[in-house]
Structure 1
């Protein structure tokens, strides 16, 4: 019976990796759930959630140009600017890739932050470096907070 329990536990960690890679679930949701609710190993959960999230963020960065080409073929290169885009550009001009990478995982999600950074002209290498650093920092903070039972989101909101 111990073997079956080990197999089941192994699948839980695979699920952490997979859920960590999904936009909007990501590290901010899966780490507290896995550690606090499921009682899983905090270090392993943090590492697997980070690797899952990084894998898909890297894919977003890597294939951004293909997406842009597809979108231009489909919709054209229209230059009409919405108020939302103007606000996003203003934030980009003020904070750049470092600000977007550090705030993005909690505010808009890491995948969207990477996408917006590349969209507004960040170099792929810069986006990879800042997104990696940001996700390492946030994974560490959320993992430690979850391990000790602190709700990071409520703590940040005050």
Structure 2
């Protein structure tokens, strides 16, 4: 029971970490055998908490980022998405190309308001996590997989 609790805590923590995030952790945790609804909730909440922190503390992050020289490869990809599709496009596509935290940061840098960036990032992270979680859940069921992944890991002690 304690191992299962730790697995859910790990879902929450990893989803809050940049570049792991909810869109990756949700399907992985479901494939690993965790219950889809708590995984979805914990992953989305964990991811959104740190994305909201980026949005709230944008001024401090912006001053810290100015110390770094040049524009990176990820930022230039995000700029292309922003130019072509605007805030909705960057918010929906950015998490796959640059990560949700950098997407939120760059959306604000490129001219998005905190309110709109918060709304679009919430929609994006929630929707992608839900879609990928559903695909992972039904993919396991469709392939008739007997998923004992977590039991194997915890029984190897």
* Matched residues, number: 140
Structure-2 separation of matches of 1:83 and 1:44? 35
SS in 2 for 1:149: helix
Question: Given the two structures, how large is their TM-score scaled by the length of structure 1?
Answer: 0.78
Identify the residue that residue 22 of structure 1 maps to in structure 2.
Answer: 17
Matching residue within 6, 14, 20 for 1:11: 6
Query: In structure 2, which of residues 44, 52, 74 is the aligned counterpart of residue 50 of structure 1?
Result: 44
Alignment partner, residue 55 of structure 2? 61
RMSD (Å), alpha carbons: 2.3
Preserved contact between residue 74 and residue 98 of structure 2 (Cα < 8 Å): no
Q: Distance in 2 between the 1:27 and 1:121 partners?
A: 25
Instruction: Show structure 1 runs of 5+ residues with no match.
Output: 1-5, 151-158
TM-score (norm 2): 0.79
- Aligned CA distance change for structure 1 residues 86 and 147 (closer, same or farther; 3 Å): closer
Structure 2 portions without partners, runs of 5+: 141-157
Displacement of 1:91: 3.1
Higher alpha-carbon deviation: 80-89 or 47-56: 80-89
> Superposition pairs for residues 7-156 of structure 1, below 5 Å?
7-37=2-32, 39-72=33-66, 74=67, 88-149=78-139
Q: Specify whether residues 92 and 15 from structure 1 end up closer, same or farther in structure 2 by C-alpha distance, changes over 3 A only.
A: same
